[in-house]
Chain A
Amino acid sequence: MNARRLISGAVSILIVAALLALFFSFRAHAPHLHGPRFSVSVRQLPYYAFCSFYRMLAAYVLAMVFSVAYGMAAARGRRWERVMIPAIDIAQSVPVIGFFPAAVYFFVALAHGGRLGVEMAAVFLIFTSQAWNLALGVFESMRTIPDDLRQALEAFGASAWLRFRKLSLPACVPKLVYNSILSWVAGWYFLIACEIITVGPSHYRLPGLGSYLMEAADRGRSGEIIAGLTMLLLIIVLMDLMVWQPLTVWAEKFRYEFASGAAGEPMGSLGMLHALSALGPAVYRTARFVIRPPAALLRVLLAGLPALDSTTRARIARAARATGYAALIALWLIFLYAIFKGLAALAHALSGPWPDQARLIPAATGASILRIVVAYSISLGWTLPCALAAADNVRFRRWLAPIAEIVGSMPATALFPLIVLFVVEVTGGMNLASILLILTGMQWYLLFNLLAGVNQIPEDLKEAAHAYGLNRLAIWRKLTVPALVPSIVTGSITAWGGGWNALILSEYFSYRGKTYKVLGLGALLDAATYETGDSMMILLSLLSMVVVVVGLNRLVWRRLYNVATERYRID
């Protein structure tokens, strides 16, 4: 491995460590959190559901704004891309859950205690689980805009704003819609983790579905658990029918025609529930009907405005550019300042005596990696055959997507208590339970990426394979699997990122007074967080995780990704 890669890897680790230490340094300032009494009555359920949904929505809106800005900036040129995309890779792989306590400290100190700070931290956590995915989607959409379209707009003298409205933004719609579905799945998964904040002695429960489920589980109220899960399922199904399906229908309008292999049917038709499958287009038509009058009014109003002449437009463009640069410089300065303070905090934190438990870190790391490898193999073991089946069978493909989305959105984190208890009863050890839990955090990423890849296999290649009389196994070997390689790689990268997060949640589990744990990095981290509150240990375990993740990213995933896009890309 050459020196340059080594240095850039070390630099990224250092930056992450500095930011982490910076967040942790706020712990001293963070006032003690007092949570209000938590009611588990079913009557509160709609309110909790609303709170949770609101949090998800806020995070999603922020993530969208961020992604469009970031993705388009990164697409501007090679130099931007070389800095911004690896930054997202790192952000994607660093396990966000581990950072959550630190984020809580930071936001609570910022908001001077109280619920606002905790809410901000929760929204921030959900934001991080959604934003990188969306930003990469925007970036890829921008890069695949056909040259001719770009040149046509340029040739007719379109301003940057016109190009944004008519070309860049519409071009991003298909990927944004698809990635949004995935982002929400990820968001629901972390919902539970972010609504219950236990840091050392502080206990805080945000009103929401996640905390409701955990609290009900803790008190053993099975009726309430079922009610909560039903509510969650209801929200997810409603969102799928009223939001994602219509949006998917609408997004078809924005596909380029030569994207052969994009199934002629929109992805979201539930073949089984035929009546409901018509709901998607119907809702879309209703929405359009409702939006039409205000949109027309808006258009009339805008038409009344005088068209700006070219000198005014040039002036506005210059002012916009200047503001953009000023904002960029300001952001850079803030970032550098944060890094500087963080490095100081890091040095201070690491200078103290290292705890005994730190000796366990290497072994724990090995154990954790092993667990993730097992979970990954199981995931790949069932998602790949599913994808192969979906590649051959259009009907299967059509109902697989919404089913996967709904089932995947059900946070396994809500079912943790049941899974742990059941598995520990049966096998007597937490290892299997932990692997199962990690599995739930990995498999959906893999499945969704594979499904996207399946949809992109060009129809004419499939027809040619059939025409030449290749049997099914041969088609899989020669066409489907190679065509899926890029999706397998990108899916694996995101799956491992999700896996690390699930790891932190799954290796240590406290329920009704009993603590279940295994030897692992996540367990060390959680034990330090919940039992001892030893910030040195927390920092060390998180740092080890970051080093491993970034290392794997550079050594394994980057290489695989390059191979995948070089050899296996279909142009």
Chain B
Amino acid sequence: MIKVIRVQGSQFGLMLLDIRNLTVTVDGKQVLKNLSLSIGFGETLLLMGPNGSGKSSLIYSIMGHPNYKVENGSIILKGKDITDMPVEERVEQGLGVSFQFPPKIHGVTIRDLAKRLAAKRGKDVDIESIASTLNMTNFLDREINVGFSGGEMKRAELFFLLIQQPSLVLLDEPDSGVDVENMVIVGNAISRLLSNESHPTTDKPSGMIVTHLGYISRYVITHRTYIIQNGSIICYGETESLVKDVLKYGFDGCTQCYGRRQTCVSRGKGKTSEMVDQIGF
């Protein structure tokens, strides 16, 4: 049976992130449709869905990319409505992101940006030692992402996040392009980002990890998994069994299940519709 982990919705208590009925368009095309999702304090979610289902769109919308126009709904972070907040203020409120395809920044080195981020945090940050945990020492004086492989870009993104120490970490496909040797390094970095071991005085950070394969769940403990399809959340459940189902039946299985609104393809009756009811369909 799928273990449905009941997370208190905002009607019961404060969530770290609470997205309600979010509809977003890009150039008039709908990319998110009435999407609702919430993340508790200290909780990490896995967000799975096929290509083009809206995973990255959700991240861009949470971050406030100017091309992503919120038509309806709201994004609440720690009780504060950030739906129309400028990007840099969202970051100040604790958002941090690792992009799937970060741009090249010519003439600006990894170290240049790292120093700026460290200065913004206003604390002593040991850039060198963070770099060494990610095997990034030789990259510090290289221009950001210029000539980097896919996996190297991902490590650079995590490196910046480890300096920023956001309270909500949004990771878009953090494992794509990462080779087997570096997978453990990436997994450890994510675990460190999501723990408060290095900053025991602060609250444990929360996270949302976007993936279309679920491979990353072998390396990082996530509490729940959401399935996104056509810009809407269609299902959620406990990570281990849901990832297993997706790998077995594909996202089509989820769609069929959601379409019938009563059974999960692989599991017992009732549970999925219960989940669906709970998240407000």
Are A and B physically bound partners?
Answer: no
**B-side interface residues toward A, CB under 8 Å?**
none
